Amino acid sequence: AVLEVQSPLHAKWRLRKELPKHKKRFLIDGKKFLIVEKELFDEYSKWLNIRWEDFVQVVRELNFVALERKRIQHLNKISTPRIINGKLYRVILLKRATMLCYNC
C-alpha cells in the first residue's frame, strides 16, 4: 500500500537513510571504498518506489560503490579484517590488489 502512494522523491530520501546500514568498508591499496551490494536494489524496490536510475544516483551521492554479491565474496576471501579508528575495514594490500584484475 505504501508503494502505490509514495512519491519518488520521498523514496530516494528513504533510500539515502537505508543504504548506509548495509555498507562494507574496504581499504584497497591505501584507498577507502564503501561498498554495497547491487542486489539491494531488488530488496528495496519491493517496498520503495524507486527505479534503477534512482538507486545508482543515490549510490553516487553517498560515494558508495555497488558490486555484485559474488565480487564482494571474492574481495572478502583475499582481504584481512583490521580495525582502524574503531571501524572494521577489510584490507587488501598492493600485491593482492593486482590479483583483482586477473581473477575477476
Please state the pTM of the whole predicted model.
Answer: 0.79
* Number of residues written out for the chain: 104
pLDDT band at 100 (very low <50, low <70, confident <90, very high): low
* Residues 72 and 90 sit within 8 Å (Cβ to Cβ): no
Q: Mind listing the pLDDT tens digit for each residue in 8-67? A: 788 899 899 999 999 999 988 888 989 999 999 999 888 888 899 999 999 999 999 998
Backbone phi, then psi, for 64, in 5-degree steps? -100, 165
Strands (E), the chain: 24-28, 31-37, 65-67, 80-84, 87-92
> Crossing angle for the helix pair 52-61 and 8-18, nearest 10 degrees?
50
**Per-residue pLDDT, 6:** 73
DSSP 8-state class, residue 25: E
